[in-house]
Structure 1
């Protein structure tokens, strides 16, 4: 994350205002005034106190805050020596030149979130502000930018207006200008002069997202390090558009209409400092060639990419994150050498594609691999034979069957912490899970059995999710939980259990058994789980007399007991001595009848 140039100053300004307000409240509460009232107008102590506008806050440093008072007009009594003026969050519609001309020391002017129109801001309104550095006019109703802004400007914010026109001297000839915000307007290519930044070569941040641009603006400042052009109508990147931007580090081009025909092999090549490139949600059919080697994060999701060639990525030696989800990739369209040499690539998103099998040649040092929502039906012995560093693997919602998972498919994944195989076609618990797993998800399958040894040796497993399968108590091997000595969460909700599984691990803290067919809760059901904190038995078939209060009383750590939605069931803790209460009520009724 990069700090916006000049962004610290407004924060300090707000802190100063807050400090002055707190002090004012303290003085008002204590009714402490100086004995000599002349101190109030001492120019060295509080030169603005005598003529501070009504409702506003002023302090000796020349900071005046009139924000949020529903003002409809510019306050006429703003002190002449004001250096920082906030009029944000009001209802001001126009400002006359003479109202600003007298504020010759003004450095910061905040007018955002008012009702200013271009007609309400005459061309010469800023002419006399020869010290103005920061101008905030966001969230107004401007249709055209001011024709000429002060040469001293450092930052200008015109976001969220209705701008259709920028002039040559709006931002041109400003040697100190560092950041310009023009997002959420109605700018088209014709509304931008080619010399828009002539003489403003030091602009570092340009935000022009959410407009109607079809082409990348010409003659961009060479000092840019952040350029936002997302949510436009970009169809083409003109030749050489980025050739002078050797310092650019972040380029946002998502949500446009870019095609591979709209760029060439050298479009991005000169961006030698580029670290973040977002080309998602465009019309790309393949990964653009000539991408610079220093990219760390590459967004290519939500395109129509069908293939990854041999050399299109290999030169990006610093690539760490590759996001290719929501495309049209098939395994055969990914070259076996496509990720060769990418030693820093640790996160790959390939979900929501058309992969029919695990792609060959996966990055050797990948740690997070997301391949969910594809068409994968099998996992072969050597699919993950070279990905030794994998820590998270998500294969959920594919078409994998238990018989098509090779018993040694995960043998090399000794660092794997999380494995998700939910939403597949598994009918039994597969063999060969990595022993170092911390989380295993097998939800929404057809699993009807947990055979012997399928969970053996998994002493580090902390979370096991088996909800929405077809498990029965008799189909779970009696020693299945024996090795799960670190298990804290066991989710077996939505199965066909008629009783609570026995010999649950001592480490268990949360047990999810809702939506089964459990009819009884034996008094010793949780003897093996003294550390349990949450038991969820909602929507089973437990009768109110089929469970004893003592079953739960010995569980000293129990925090949640969810037993609603059972047949004729209410909380046993609330039904304590139920029969005795009924007898007492009957006796009271009899006594009342006798008295009558």
Structure 2
């Protein structure tokens, strides 16, 4: 116990002794002391009430509800008479319930469909966009994702895309490469790639495509390996106007014949593992022009087809190298 505490106790005992001595000499002294006891608690509260009512309000940090409004953020002496559809003050945002529900539904729709309505947004929701390239690989998307207008390269491989519509690539004039390998594509609108004047590479391998749509004229590489394409799914002039096409991959399909009117620019042609059973003198060359040479063609692969190439010696006179495949039974 400290010295100050002892001093206080001693003073208390001294005052009590004085009281007792005065009471012994004057009996009315004790009565007067009793009348000076503290006021009751209720009276004390009544006296202090004006000071309590005038005290300033304490800032609250809550999220609360009031009638038709939802309050988000920090609440600072909210004046309900000044509520509006949207008010921002000191971090406070007031949203009507209708507005709040609309915003929530819109946000949920964006997450589900991965669509961005505002063209100024820099990226689609489920993809990574970097320097004109969009990477959406293995994200399980079921449709072509929204793209920034400046997109030049799209990689959306190994997803669950089932259809390509004319609207998917309707306003992307800078696209140069599209890779949709390993999806579930069964249907492609014939005009899906019409508005892609700079498209050079199109990869649709490992899908369920049964026919080839119209292709952009500047295409240099077209890969449709591992699909279900039959000869009737390729138009007679599907490749004729593609004067820049150098690489054509149609292996592991269901072709019964070699596509017609192959462009002169073609260098590599892969047709292995199809159902091609015969060829003609005009398949690769020109039967009416014995001097004709396919100067650009470097490789033709036809192994895994039922055709016996040795039966058609005049079909390869214009080629620098013979196609790979079966020449004898």
* Alpha-carbon distance, 1:284 to partner: 1.1
Q: Secondary structure at the residue paired with 1:328?
A: coil
- CA deviations 1:553-594 (Å, max 9, x no partner) are xxxxxxxxxxxxxxxxxxxxxxxxxxxxxxxxxxxxxxxxxx
**Which residue does the alignment assign to 2:175?**
248
2:153 counterpart of 1:238: no
Structure 1 residues 374 and 214, CA gap change in structure 2 (3 angstroms): same
Q: CA deviation at 1:283?
A: 0.9
Please name the residue that 2:205 is paired with. Answer: 280
Is 1:192 the equivalent of 2:134?
Answer: no
Counterpart among 268, 289, 314 of residue 240 in structure 2: 314
2:166–2:193: 8 Å Cα contact kept in structure 1?
no
Q: Which residue of 1 aligns with 2:151?
A: 224
The answer (yes or no) to whether the contact 2:220–2:246 under 8 Å persists in 1 is yes
On the 8 A contact 1:258/1:282 being kept in 2, the answer is yes
SS at match of 2:117: coil
Matched, 1:362 2:292: no
Q: Relative to 1, partners in 2 of residues 1:381 and 1:203: Cα closer, same or farther, differing over 3 Å? A: closer
Of 359, 382, 394 in structure 1, the residue corresponding to residue 324 of structure 2 is 394
Equivalent residue of 1:206, what SS? strand
2-side partners of 1:329 and 1:227: how far apart?
Answer: 28
Match of 1:214 in 2: 142
Counterpart position of 2:254:
328
- Offset of residue 197 of structure 1: 5.7
Q: Structure 2 residue aligned with 1:371, among 302, 305, 308?
A: 302
Query: Would the aligned equivalents of 2:165 and 2:189 in 1 still touch at CA under 8 Å?
Result: no
Contact 1:189/1:213, CA 8 A, preserved across alignment: no
Task: Tell me the TM-score normalized by structure 1.
Answer: 0.32
Which secondary structure does the structure 1 equivalent of 2:312 belong to? Answer: coil
Q: Could you report, residue by residue, the CA deviation over 1:527-578 in whole angstroms, capped at 9, with x for unpaired residues?
A: xxxxxxxxxxxxxxxxxxxxxxxxxxxxxxxxxxxxxxxxxxxxxxxxxxxx
Q: Which range moves more in the overlay, 235-244 or 296-305?
A: 235-244
**Structure 2 match to 1:46:** none
**SS class of match (1:393):** coil
Taking the aligned partners of 1:192 and 1:380, their CA distance within structure 2 comes to 53
Distance of 1:329 and 1:280 partners within structure 2: 15
- How many pairs align? 203
Deviations 1:227-283 (A, max 9, x none): 011101101123321111111111001111112xx3222101111111111001111
2:261 to 326, 338, 361: 338
What is the rounded CA distance, in whole Å, between the counterparts of 2:142 and 2:155 in structure 1?
Answer: 14
**For residues 230 and 189 of structure 1, what CA distance do their matches in structure 2 show?**
20
Question: d(CA) in 2 for partners of 1:305 and 1:189?
Answer: 34
Quick one: structure 1 residues 209 and 197, their matched pair in 2 at CA, closer, same or farther if it must change by over 3 Å? farther
Match of 2:315 in 1: 383
User: Residues 211 and 392 from structure 1, CA distance in 2 versus in 1: closer, same or farther, beyond 3 angstroms?
Assistant: farther
Shift of 1:299: 0.4
Report Cα offsets for 1:480-503 as digits up to 9, x if no partner: xxxxxxxxxxxxxxxxxxxxxxxx
Q: Distance in 2 between matches of 1:265 and 1:191?
A: 24
SS of the residue corresponding to residue 382 of structure 1 reads helix
**Unmatched segments (≥5 aa) in structure 1:** 1-166, 169-187, 402-424, 426-596
Check conservation: 1:367, 1:392, Cα contact below 8 A: no
**Structure 2: segments with no counterpart, 5+ residues:** 1-105, 124-129, 286-293
Distance in 2 between residues matched to 1:325 and 1:213, nearest whole Å: 26
Q: Deviations over 1:278-320 (max 9, x none)?
A: 00111111222x2101111110110011113211111211100
Whole-angstrom CA distance in 1 between matches of 2:111 and 2:237: 35
Deviations 1:391-428 (A, max 9, x none): 36311xx3x43xxxxxxxxxxxxxxxxxxxxxxx3xxx
> As a proportion of its length, which structure holds more helix?
2
Q: How many Å separate the matches in 1 of 2:302 and 2:215?
A: 24
Distance (whole Å) between structure 2 residues aligned to residue 313 and residue 194 of structure 1 = 35
Cα deviation 1:47-91 (Å, max 9, x = unaligned)? xxxxxxxxxxxxxxxxxxxxxxxxxxxxxxxxxxxxxxxxxxxxx
The 8 Å contact of residues 357 and 379 in structure 1, kept in 2 or not, is answered as no
Aligned to 1:251, the other structure's residue is in SS state: strand
Q: Which has the higher contact order (CA 8 A, sep 6+)?
A: 2
Work out which of the residue numbers 208, 219, 222 in structure 2 matches 1:295: 219
TM-score by length of 2: 0.56
Q: Distance in 1 between matches of 2:185 and 2:111?
A: 16
Query: What's the Cα RMSD here?
Result: 2.5
Q: CA offset at residue 357 of structure 1?
A: 2.3
CA distance in 1, matches of 2:135, 2:307: 41
Structure 1 segments, 4+ long, off by >6 Å, are none
| Aligned counterparts of 1:190 and 1:311: Cα–Cα separation in 2 | 40
Deviation at 1:338, TM superposition (A): 2.8
Aligned partners of 2:211, 2:261: CA distance in 1, in Å? 13
Output the CA distance in 2 between the equivalents of 1:362 and 1:284. 25
Shift in alpha-carbon separation, 1:196–1:208, aligned structure 2, 3 A = farther
